[in-house]
């Protein structure tokens, strides 16, 4: 089935900096420390590629695995196109993104037993952020051109991680 966030144990603070970031001082140094051109090209600002991957994993736990797999498979199909302006490329790109965006909260609502409404909302918000961070085709070939910016993707992942950390699911809400 899908992987979703479980309940936080009683007494555990929602405002903890994850252990992999090494505490507040190290987190701030990583976040605002050396931001070389190379680190931005690798998809993160001041952190390591591992940090970026850990943020991606943190956000992906809100999205049903079936949706992630379907979107990634569709992205692979899109990578085979030579002409990115071909109508079939654009149709597949938009349909896959919007179907996955719609089905992410639907899957959560239909198949999960925990906090359905709240998890559905989190899945709806998490999917486009995750797709942007993964350099989804829809952001590289939008009507506005290439709107993917690695620094902004890393910023979105950090902000979503901070905000979703404040979310404390109840055992059930119908």
What would the DSSP string read from start to end of 87-149? Answer: HHHHHHHHHHHHHHHHHHHHHHHHH--S-HHHHHHHHHHHHHHHHHHTT-HHHHSBTTB----
Q: What's the structural domain count of the chain? A: 1
Flag whether 7 is in a domain. Answer: no
| Torsion (CA) 40, 42, 43, 48 in degrees, nearest 10 | -90
CA distance 144 to 97: 17
Q: Residue 102 belongs to what domain range?
A: 36-165
Higher pLDDT, 84 or 173: 84
Write out the two tokens for 58.
């943190």
Q: Is residue 156 part of a domain?
A: yes
Look at residue 56 and tell me if it is in a domain. yes
pLDDT value at residue 114: 61
Question: Is residue 47 in a domain?
Answer: yes
pLDDT at 27 exceeding the cut of 60: no
pLDDT digits (tens, 9 = 90+) for 142-167: 888 888 898 999 899 889 988 887 77
How many percent of the chain have pLDDT more than 70? 66
* pLDDT grade for 168, boundaries at 50, 70 and 90: low
Quick: pLDDT tens for 48-69. 677 777 877 878 888 888 899 9
Let me know if residue 30 belongs to a domain. no
CA–CA dist 126, 86 (Å, integer) = 29
Structure tokens at 108: 């959560």
Q: Retrieve residue 75's tokens.
A: 């992205």
As a whole number of angstroms, the distance between CA 46 and CA 34 comes to 5
In a domain, 26, yes or no: no
Whether residue 27 lies inside any domain: the answer is no
Considering the domain boundaries, does residue 153 fall inside one? yes
């Amino acid at each position: 089935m899908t992987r979703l966030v479980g309940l936080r144990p009683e007494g555990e603070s929602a405002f903890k900096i994850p252990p992999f970031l090494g505490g507040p001082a190290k987190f701030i140094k990583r976040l605002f420390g050396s931001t070389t051109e190379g680190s931005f090209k690798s998809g993160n600002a001041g952190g390591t590629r591992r940090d970026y991957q850990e943020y991606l994993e943190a956000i992906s736990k809100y999205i049903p695995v079936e949706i992630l797999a379907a979107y990634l498979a569709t992205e692979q199909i899109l990578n085979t196109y030579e002409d990115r302006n071909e109508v079939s490329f654009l149709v597949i790109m938009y349909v896959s993104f919007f179907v996955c965006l719609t089905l992410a909260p639907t899957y959560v609502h239909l198949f999960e037993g925990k906090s359905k409404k709240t998890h559905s909302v989190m899945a709806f918000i998490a999917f486009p952020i995750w797709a942007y961070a993964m350099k989804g085709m829809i952001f590289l070939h939008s009507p506005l051109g290439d709107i993917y910016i690695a620094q902004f993707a890393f910023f979105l992942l950090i902000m979503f991680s901070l905000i979703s950390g404040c979310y404390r699911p109840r055992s059930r809400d119908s």
